[in-house]
Amino acid sequence: MAEPGEIAKQICMEKSIDWAYEEEERLFLSDLEQNLHYRGKDHSGYEIILNEYPKEAIKSVYISMNAKKETFIKVFDVFSKF
């Protein structure tokens, strides 16, 4: 029988054929070397946990058109350092 974490991962890997054109990749912390950085909590009370990735792993970043200007600026500032 599969472990509960593996079952959850399999569910998260499922994607409707309607979205196949996006060709996205999904990463799970459990599959990576972990170098975690805890950064407090977000507006909803969830912990913000960051992990280091090789910069070559990031090809693009999409920000919602409904995102606040401050969010766009913060994301731009982080990625402009690369």
Sign of CA dihedral 35, 41, 45, 50: negative
Residue numbers of the domain that contains 31: 4-80
Residue 46 has pLDDT above 90, yes or no: yes
Q: Are 55 and 73 in contact (CB under 8 A)?
A: no
CA–CA dist 20, 18 (Å, integer): 6
What gap in Å lies between CA 65 and CA 29, rounded to an integer?
27
Q: 12 versus 42: which is more confidently predicted?
A: 42
pLDDT band at 70 (very low <50, low <70, confident <90, very high): very high
pLDDT at 24 (0 to 100): 75
Q: Give residue 1's pLDDT band: very low, low, confident or very high (50, 70, 90).
A: low
Residue 22 pLDDT: 79
pLDDT at 69 over 90: yes
Alpha helices in 1-82 (DSSP H): 4-13, 69-80
